[in-house]
Amino acid sequence: MTLVRHVEIMEKLEAYALGQLPEQDRRDVDAHLDACAVCTRELDALNTVLAGIGESVPAKTPPPALRSRVLEAIAKEPQDRPAPVPIAPARQPRRIQWALASLGVAAALLLAVGLLAFRSEQSRRQLAADVSQLQERNAELVERVQRYNGQADLALSILTAGDMREIPLTGQQNAANTAARAYWSPERGLLVVADRLPAAPPGRIYQVWVIENKVPISAGLLDNESPGRGMLIVTPPRPGAGGMVTVAVSDEPPGGREAPSGSIHLLGSI
Amino acid sequence: MDADVDVVMRVAAGDRDAVAELYDRHASRVLGLAYRIVQNSSDAEDVVQEVFSQAWRTAQAYRATRGTVAGWLLMMARTRAIDRVRSRQARPASVGDDHLDAVPSDSPTVPDQLIATEQAVQVREAMLELPADQRTALELAYFEGLTHTEIAERLRTPLGTVKTRIRSALSALRRSVRS
């Protein structure tokens, strides 16, 4: 699924839910929905609202004869055949599972003992190297604190902006359990935070995109130095057009790209 | 388990008595919506019959994770009612077509608080709070089944404006349901 394609479909979901799409477009959306959890959730939310509009219309007591008419009609009618249920693969016999489990425990014990021995030798040798590294790192940390202070100011100004909109981001693929949100102020900038974010695929980094009018603009690289965390705080990548905004995170080669080319990991629109 | 879902599962299993139960629980709401769209009692009652037949035939396809039973029935009612209005518009007018209503418009309705879900109440309140131009555009899309282009023509408003109005209206309603 490409990002551009996803955004194209997302734009059509309202018309789809309202039953306004021509046949071909409707089939396109159907095909995309089969593969896209974000659009499926978006559609469910739209359907909930549309159902609410239907339910908000005053009810009307049906005439008594209508009930018998309905029941007579279905008495003659057969039901549609259900779709065939896929057959689940047979489970492994319990005894084999036990054998595999105990093998696993033994292997894990061996691995742990080995790792501990390796670690203690390693830490002794590293202690000396660490002292000099610590001093270097201290300087680096001071610089970083200064940078973070600047970023914290920007984050605060984004979060308190009058035009700030909160965009929940939904994890895709390996990031299904990631909790992430974007805070978008067209005037002040973009703040993206992610928790339980898996590391980017080997040799790749996470890049953040803001998409308006189907054009993705890079908002920068997602900082995920702390394991499982991701953060980006930037001034607006460009002036907001005021319409639908999509924020996406894709994996890209180091340094990032001009336009998204890798898989999408986080996605949300408002 | 939700009592509605339980009824639909029995319908799916081929229990015709469960259809009667489904009807008793939801017919007034389905009729209310159908009537709002087709604007005459005879067509609205036909829609009700079609909806419950369709529910009987396709109950196996109902997925509770995708929405409430009421939502499922009302979606069918809306589609069928709009189809009916469209086919009525497509054929030449005949006597009877414009007879709005054998039933007077102030005919007794089931008190809303007895049947409307909390969500429906939230949506209705949010609808009333929408700016008039947004509400009109959304109502034309929902109750008359007009496409964005048709709404733009009807309101003599640029297509982009119509799209924005509908999108803003739906976003506002979503926020009302969420909060």
Where residue A190 sits, what CATH number does that domain have?
A: 2.60.40
Closest among B72, B10, B106, B99 to A51, alpha carbons compared: B72
Pair A266, A176: CB distance under 8 Å:
no
CA A139 to chain centre: 36
**Dmax of chain A from CA atoms?**
92
Strands of the sheet containing A228-234, edge to edge, are A215-221, A205-212, A245-252, A264-269, A165-171, A179-185, A189-197, A228-234
Whole-number Å distance between alpha carbons of A79 and B60 = 9
| Residue-wise pLDDT tens digits, A5-37 | 778 888 888 888 888 888 899 888 888 887 787
Beta carbons of B174 and A56 less than 8 Å apart = no
Write down the domain spans for chain B: 1-90, 116-179
Average pLDDT, chain A: 80
Pair B16, A42: CB distance under 8 Å:
no
Between residues A99 and B35, the one the model is more confident about: B35
Alpha-carbon distance B108 to nearest alpha carbon in chain A (angstroms):
7
pLDDT surpassing 60 at residue A84: no
Confirm whether A169 is domain-assigned.
yes
pLDDT surpassing 80 at residue B42: yes
**B159-178 and B118-129 helices cross at what angle (nearest 10)?**
140
Confirm whether A177 is domain-assigned.
yes
Beta carbons of B27 and A62 less than 8 Å apart = yes
State the pTM of this model.
Answer: 0.58
Q: Tokens 């139960």 map to which residue?
A: B21
Alpha-carbon distance A150 to nearest alpha carbon in chain B (angstroms):
33
Whole-number Å distance between alpha carbons of B166 and B149 = 12
Report the residue from A48, A59, A71 with minimal CB separation from B28: A59
Contacts A–B by Cβ distance under 8 A:
173
Q: CA gyration radius for chain A?
A: 27
Q: What is the pLDDT of residue A158?
A: 85
Three-class secondary structure assignment of A139-155: HHHHHHHHHHHHHHHHH
**Coil vs helix vs strand at A196:** strand
| Residue-wise pLDDT tens digits, B94-142 | 444 444 443 333 334 444 444 456 777 888 889 989 999 999 999 999 9
Q: Does A47 contact chain B (CB < 8 Å)?
A: yes
Whole-number Å distance between alpha carbons of A19 and B161 = 20
- At A87, the pLDDT band (50, 70, 90 cuts) reads very low
Whole-number Å distance between alpha carbons of B38 and B86 = 10
Query: What is the bridge-based pairing of β-strands A215-221 and A205-212?
Result: antiparallel
Whole-number Å distance between alpha carbons of B75 and A44 = 13
Q: Residue A262 gets which letter from DSSP?
A: S
Considering its fold, how many domains does chain A have in total?
2
Using a pLDDT cut of 70, give the percent of chain B over it.
83
Pair B42, B86: CB distance under 8 Å:
no
Q: How large is the average pLDDT for residues A118-139?
A: 72
Cα nearest neighbour of B171 on chain A: A270
Domain B1-90 part of CATH 1.20.58.1030: no
B131: tokens are: 């700016």
- At A242, the pLDDT band (50, 70, 90 cuts) reads low
Alpha-carbon distance B92 to nearest alpha carbon in chain A (angstroms):
24
Residue A264 forms beta bridges with which residues? A250
Q: How large is the average pLDDT for residues B44-48?
A: 97
Q: DSSP characters for A103-139?
A: HHHHHHHHHHHHHHHHHHHHHHHHHHHHHHHHHHHHH
Using a pLDDT cut of 70, give the percent of chain A over it.
80
Alpha-carbon distance B95 to nearest alpha carbon in chain A (angstroms):
23
Domain B116-179 part of CATH 1.10.10.10: yes
Pair A172, A38: CB distance under 8 Å:
yes
Residue A117, class by beta-carbon neighbours within 10 Å (0-12 exposed, 13-18 middle, 19+ buried)? exposed
Confirm whether A261 is domain-assigned.
yes
Q: What ipTM goes with this model?
A: 0.82
For residue A20, give its domain range.
1-49
- At B40, the pLDDT band (50, 70, 90 cuts) reads very high
* Torsion angle, alpha carbons of B145, B150, B153, B155, to 10: 20
Q: Report the run of H or E that residue A36 belongs to, with start and end.
A: none
Contacts of B141 in chain A (CB under 8 A): 18, 20
Confirm whether A113 is domain-assigned.
no
Lowest mean pLDDT segment, chosen from A58-62, A90-94, B1-5: A90-94
Pair A6, A31: CB distance under 8 Å:
no
Q: What is the pLDDT of residue B21?
A: 95
Q: How large is the average pLDDT for residues A71-84?
A: 81
Confirm whether A178 is domain-assigned.
yes
Q: Is A220 left (phi over 0), alpha (psi -120 to 50) or beta?
A: left
